[in-house]
Structure formats: structure tokens, C-alpha cells
Amino acid sequence: MTATASDATASGATASGSAPAAAHFRFFALEVLRTRRLGHSFLRVTFGGESLSGFRSGGYDQSLSLFLPPAHQEHTVLPSTDEDTWFAAWRAVPDEERPVMRSYTVREQRRTPEGADEVDIDFVLHGDASPASRWAGRAVTGRRIMAIGPAVAANKSVRFQPPPGTDALLMYADETALPAAAAILDRLPAGTRVAAWFEVPHADDRLVLPTLADADITWIVRERGAGKERTERVLEALRAAELPVAEAPYAWLAGEAGTIRAVRRHVVQERSIDRRAVRFTGYWRLGASEEELLAEAYAGRAASEEPSSEL
């Protein structure tokens, strides 16, 4: 699942290329342990590695940045992992040799009965249309990559932060944000009232999402359509819904930036939810490549609606 383009710089560097301001994040060496197909579009990759003993996921929509090797290499090799020099060194690598940096959500972190640490990351597969999809589709046991992830659980890359007193939760996610939404549902306490709309490309992508919450989930199967047609289909589903009666609702919205803007307008203007209780993040933007979004992030023009939500 792809997180925002702004995350790519924020996981360890500012747009100007400086080192992270705090040691909340560090490099981790990850090795593919196994993969499992979850649906038509989703593949779960389970990573292990001794360095994961220091990994501290904050749960919910915790993100991290992965460094994936170029297509002609099996493993990721970085020119530097020093907090003061890595970003400039990585950027200086020729394009065809530079590991691809992409941000993803931690679907789950756990310790096995044998005492080993594992991390699951769910990828959206769409052939070779992107470097991350291409890598995930060819991932096999033993492949090694690098990541920048949390060394402390209380870190600002966990965006899901409902204020005290929240009495209902509204959620919208497309396929890129579905792993984050699933991780949120995993951790909600019993009885939490949730109204959720999850948009996926194919009917087989409607996953079983375990939760103790009192969750009413509506699946929007895209199959066809893009741009305005796609956004209107999402808005139609939301407008047709009866939301839980609540004094202090909280909305968490993540996915394609244009759709997120429209959904945010709906919940604020048509549903009268306090804009301060709406957390919204554009994970990608229709019509823009991942490399274009990264270039914007490096230039200080983050593709996310919330550039301040960087790591």
C-alpha cells in the first residue's frame, strides 16, 4: 500500500536533503520470509531480520519507507545509512542504479513464539506499471531490501489520532489505503461505531477485515471508470448512507488526492463534521507518476493534502 509522496522525504530527510530532526526513525534491513496473495490486487509480503528487534510500530496507519532494488538487482544496496549523509548519497546515485524509495503502511508487526520479529506489508499489484508493483510481484524468500522505519512507537507518522471523546468514526479508503484502514480496524476497541467506505478495483479485492468494532463497511467495486466518474461513484455511496448519530465524530480519509478532496468537502459541508476532526491524506494523484510526486516532495510541494503530516 502506498503512502504519501511527502512521506518519501520525511522518513529520513527534509525536502532540502537534511538529516532527520529526531532519532525516531532509523534504517532496518529486511528479508523476505514469505508472500501470500490476498485478493485480485493484493499481495502480502512478510519480512524478517535481526534488526527488526528495534522496530517499534505505533500501529494504526503507521508508515515506513522502503528502498527497493533496481530491476536488474536482487537486493538493495545503499551508498550510506548514516543519518547525516544517506539522503544526499542516495540522490547522487545514477537513476538506473538508484534504489527506488516508496512509502507503505505496516499492516502488522508481531513476535513469533520462537522470538523472531516479523512485519507484514500489503502491496497493490498492477503488473509492471510501477517499480513497487514489479518488485512485489517477483518477491521471493531471501530477497533483501532496506527500510527507514520507527524506532519509537509514539511517532508522528501515525496519522490516525482521534481526539478524546470521539464517539463515532467515518472512514474512506481506496486500495492504496486499505491496508492502513484494515490495521486501524484491527486495533479499535469493542463497540466503537464505524461507518466505512472502501473502494477497490475488483470484486475479489473485498477482504475479510477482522475487528471488534461495530463496523458498517460498504465496498465500492470500481471495475471501470476513472477521474470524475470514479469520484462521483464514491460520493453517491456516501450521500446515500445514514451516518451514526454522534456528538463528536472523527473522519479518517485516505487514497487518491482528488477523490479525497471531494470526500472531505462532503463530510465537512454536507455532513457538518468539524473540519478539525477530519484527517485526510492523498496517497497518490491521478495523472501523476510516482516519480513526479516524489519530485514535488523534494521541491517542498508535497502531493498530500497534509504536507505537515510527514514523518
The pLDDT averaged over each successive group of 10 residues in the chain (311 residues) is 44 40 84 97 97 94 96 95 93 95 95 95 92 95 97 92 95 96 97 96 95 96 72 92 93 94 95 95 76 65 38 27
pLDDT at 287: 62
pLDDT at 42: 97
Beta-carbon count within 10 A of 44 CB = 17
Superfamily covering domain 5-156+288-309: Translation factors (2.40.30.10)
Residues of the chain with CATH 2.40.30.10: 5-156+288-309
pLDDT at 301: 47
Closest-CA residue to 255 (of 181, 188, 309, 193): 181
pLDDT at 307: 32
Q: Which three three-digit cell numbers place residue 230?
A: 470514479
Fold assignment, 168-284: Rossmann fold (3.40.50)
pLDDT at 23: 77
Contacts 24+ apart (CB under 8 A), 218-226: 226/286
Q: Over the range 87-124, which residues count as b (16 or more CB within 10 Å of their CB) and which as e?
A: beebeeeeeeebbbbbbbbbbbbeeeeeeebbbbbbbb
d(CA 175, CA 41): 8
The alpha carbons of the chain give a radius of gyration, in whole angstroms, of 19
Residues of the chain with CATH 3.40.50.80: 168-284
